[in-house]
Amino acid sequence: MSTLVIVESPTKARTIRNFLPSTYRVEASMGHVRDLPSSAEEIPEAVKGEKWAQLGVNVEADFEPLYVIPKDKKKIVKELKDALKDATELILATDEDREGESISWHLLQILKPKVPIKRMVFHEITREAIRDALTHCRDIDNRVVQAQETRRILDRLVGYTLSPLLWKKIAWGLSAGRVQSVAVRLLVRRERERRAFRQGSYWDLKATLTPPNPPLGKGGASDNPPLGKGGASDNPPLGKGGQGGAFDAKLVTVGNVKVANGSDFDENTGQIIAGRRVLLLNEEQARALLSRIQNKPWTVSNLEERPVTRKPSPPFTTSTLQQEANRKLRLGARETMRIAQSLYERGFITYMRTDSVHLSEQAIEAARSCVQELYGSEYLSPQPRKYTTKSKGAQEAHEAIRPAGSTFRTPQQTGLDGIDFRLYDLIWKRTVASQMADSRQTHVTVLTQVEDAGFRSSGKRIDFPGFLRAYVEGSDDPNAALEDQEVILPALKVGDKPNCKDLGAIGHETQPPARYTEASLVKMLESEGVGRPSTYASIIGTIVDRGYAKLIANALIPTFTAFAVTTLLETHFPDLVDTGFTSRMEQTLDEIATGEAKWLPYLQKFYTGETGLATQVKEQESQIDAKVARTVVLENISAKVCIGKFGAYLESESEEGLVKASIPQDLTPADLDPEQVEFLLKQKMEGPEKLGLHPETGEPIYVLIGSYGPYVQLGDVSETNKKPKRASLPKGTDKDSVTVDMAVSLLTLPRLLGTHPETGAKVQANLGMYGPYVVHDQGKVGKDYRSIKPPDDVLTITLDRALEMLAQPKAARGSSKTATPLKELGAHPESGELINVYDGRYGPYVKHGDINASLAKDESVENFTLQKALDLLAAKEAAGGGKSSSKSKKSTKTAAAKSETAAKKTTTAKKTTAAKSETAAKKTTAKKTESAAKKTTAKKTATATTAKKTTK
């Protein structure tokens, strides 16, 4: 007797294998084994001549899908069929969502098993959950399969019908999607709002006051000390300000009239909103008021204390996890889901694609036990908190994302590290906090009066922290502090006369609407009911990959191409980019899953009806002028912005004819203004702006703007000088501020600062893609870089300062902190470079040159040796991983005896070293390469599975 269990990924298979008897064989399907054809070569010969074949859906035969087994899945299918031959029972154990149900159904269609079949579902991979699932198997839910198939067909119809239209009318390679296009429109609409925004300015006063008497020793505003130990690592310090100390007061009224602030301005005019009775102060008026009240007495006119109770947030759903991971960990939605998938498959968390905030009784008990043990009974909510999902369409899984098991392992008990640890930590805290007591706070407002000017001071006292001990939710507003920052005001009473320690006039400017981050876009899509949370990661990834948006400083910035595509769809297919229409479509798909709606009539009406998509495209195609479609109209810009083969460009009529000028890639639609347009066109028509002459060569120096921003150029382009010397301006440098001296200095880059006293190699300063830097260039040995940060300047930095910087350890990538080795192992036997173990985003890794190799999950840093590092690095490069320096490549090739040419160039000493290490290297390479290949395959498969599941 043997049972074949099929899951999606190798990682999941390995974990489940540990919980089943030896008679069970667990294999992975590597995601979907069958899908609609993705290219012409996948279309079977029998139907290649059919007009619907490219679509992959026979719209004339009740929308019958054309399913094919992709080339890269044929071997997997054969292996599964071979495994089934020896089985007496088949268990389909794919995920418990629409995609998982669909994968099981497709496996059934392909394998055609003649043995008993069971469908096993679970939402966590623990021994208890798997054993329980084995006793509660069911049949495949055909309604869920039908809902997924309808969704897949619908997405194919939208994408494959509209995308070719975009190729013809705007640019090749563009795509449209049922949810993707709506998301792009949201980004474009926000960017339009930023363009329409008109800045307003206002002034007010800010005072620093101190209480009239010395601070009380005990009691006062709060007897509660700030939270100390026991709080979560991401909690802000509670206790800003201080009892009896100085406190801030802001001007709010003058002569009983409210003083204008940012909320009183109309974003479209930059003026006060019509009908608002407020006093708008300019700088002169603010300073005059300051002078008038400067030395006048202050009096507390009113004091109000308002108790506030806050409840913890519910446990994570897919979308809230993506939002919070983006806010707190700066993870993109796609990366969050990849890490969560790995945690789920290894048995650390429950299923990560869920709309539900519900916790099982087992989970509630586990969370409450954690609270009791770690924080004490006073921090436990009086009754178990039970959360219900408000969304009608919630269906992906029956429980929120939480730590797996009947008892929750603390983050420190998991053995996880790096980003895996941090995401688990976030999930653990949110789950535990959901069963904690309310936070009790007191909000304090103090009004003070000085002559006819009224000031307000706001404070917050944490009377009982409750769930804030474990978890504080982040904010979408990057300028806002966490809501739970405690601000203590001194003990005051009406009639007190505080002392004014400082009084200043402050100018403000209103800010345009903030661009969407991944977190805020996910939040918006969910609130509008557009798409499924499980697909948001894929959607955002597609938007960036297809060039519709750039992700800069965590903001999603739409491109000019996004503007053109959105305008075309809004004009000719408004329903498809309307959030309400897309939301109703989502509801219908949910109703198909529950049997409340029929799939075929819906597809017929959507696609082939009188107002169906196919009919609309046929009618509209002849009406769409490609030249108009490729043109983006922006307010206050006289020139046209056009989409070309190589990006966006300006087009304008002049006396000499049509003028075209490229738009720099870093210039966003919201930031393109008339001055920039004028400069770009003038540069194109009149040639570059001459800054002056080079003092030594006499050649002209020009300031230009190119595709990658402003730069200076020495001399003219000619037949004999096709590539004149050029240098980019340092980031943040305005082209109008460039002088001849600065340009001459920039054109000297890279600057030779001198030679390194230890190696004799040259040390240079230069500007690169990521900013200014110094480099210690040792030729074949390699290059050692350090970024130049203010106040150091690439044009003035000295050799001594460069040597000082090079002596410091490199900063960790993506971090401003110095990368301090976890362990120093010693020098490489050939290159002499130090090999160290560092703490990286994905856990400990060993580094040599440009090769990084991660330590195994069960490998101890303390016990890790130089020899182990050499073996690991050799295996990594042999497997093709990493980008090595010239020296590293040479060393590895010599050690493996792979290149006769390289071997001849090495010294006798190197040959000897290679001979000694050859045997070890071969063994290690074989063993480690196999391990690395398996890990890579598993990782790629998990990613592919996620991507496949979330494609829209």
Q: Which residues are catalytic?
A: 351
3-state class (DSSP) for residue 155 = helix
In this structure, what DSSP letter does residue 1 have? Answer: -
Give the E-state strand segments of 384-466 in sequence order: 439-450, 453-464
Q: Which two tokens stand for residue 795?
A: 């044009």
Q: Which two tokens stand for residue 565?
A: 């595509």
Kindly give the pairing relationship between strand 709-714 and strand 725-728.
antiparallel
Q: Measure CA of the first residue to CA of the last residue in the chain; give whole Å.
A: 42
Q: Which two tokens stand for residue 26?
A: 């667990």
In this structure, what DSSP letter does residue 316 have? Answer: B
Q: Which two tokens stand for residue 442?
A: 């007191």
Is residue 539 within 8 Å of residue 183, measured between CB atoms? yes
Is residue 325 within 8 Å of residue 336, measured between CB atoms? yes
Neighbours of 659 (CB within 10 A): 16
Q: Which two tokens stand for residue 951?
A: 């494609």
Residue reference for tokens 């006769």? 900
Q: Which two tokens stand for residue 156?
A: 């194919």
Which residues have a Cβ under 8 Å from the Cβ of 485 and sit 6 or more positions away?
236, 238, 240, 460
Is residue 352 within 8 Å of residue 337, measured between CB atoms? yes
Neighbours of 741 (CB within 10 A): 11
Q: Which two tokens stand for residue 749?
A: 């880059």
Q: Which two tokens stand for residue 857?
A: 């999950």
Of 875, 785, 782, nearest to 832 by C-alpha is: 782
- To 10 degrees, what angle do helices 579-594 and 518-528 make? 60
Output the CA torsion sign for 854, 858, 862, 863: negative
Rg of the chain over all Cα atoms, to the nearest angstrom:
33
Phi then psi for residue 127, to 5 deg, are -55, -45
User: Cα(170)–Cα(188) distance, rounded to whole angstroms?
Assistant: 17
Q: Quickly list DSSP for 776-820.
A: EE-GGG-EEEEE--TT--TTT--HHHHHHHHTSPPBPTT-SSB--
Kindly give the pairing relationship between strand 647-654 and strand 657-662.
antiparallel
